Amino acid sequence: MRKEILLISSLIIAVTLLVGCSLNKIEQNNQPQTTPEKNKTCDDTEKGIDYYVNGELTVCDFVTLEEPRGSPVGCALHNDLCGSEPNVLLEKYCDGDEFKFEKYICPNGCEEGACIR
């Protein structure tokens, strides 16, 4: 008799858990999807690569549930700069909305984020 009560109790708990999980899954599937989309912008004062001008990039991240952009999460400024190696310029630029940079060897040296003419 005691084993039967334990077995019935175990079955009731198992069924309750299964039904609860199934209902929870149904409720989640019926809710609208509100996954935020990330968007970026990248603006370059040089409008491209110019080794002889110290340009400045403004890179912003946005999170939105609606188009076109939503709320800004943060923006950062990036300037071209001379590297620690002699004559090396770190030229920063936008590739679409992506921030990129390259190392460039300035023939006449580098000063204040630009090659010397």
Q: What is the tens place of the pLDDT at every residue in 22-47?
A: 444 444 455 554 555 557 889 999 99
Residue 19 belongs to domain spanning: 1-31
Query: 72 with 16, same domain?
Result: no
Query: 20 with 46, same domain?
Result: no
Q: What is the tens place of the pLDDT at every residue in 64-87?
A: 655 555 666 788 999 999 998 889
Full-model pTM = 0.59
Q: How far apart are alpha carbons 53 and 91 in whole angstroms?
A: 9
Query: 49 with 27, same domain?
Result: no
Q: How far apart are alpha carbons 61 and 5 in whole angstroms?
A: 60
Q: What is the tens place of the pLDDT at every residue in 96-107?
A: 989 999 999 999
Query: 25 with 76, same domain?
Result: no
Query: 26 with 50, same domain?
Result: no
Distances from the Cα of 109 to the Cαs of 4, 42, 87, 101, in angstroms? 89, 28, 4, 18
Number of folded domains in the chain?
2
Query: 17 with 67, same domain?
Result: no
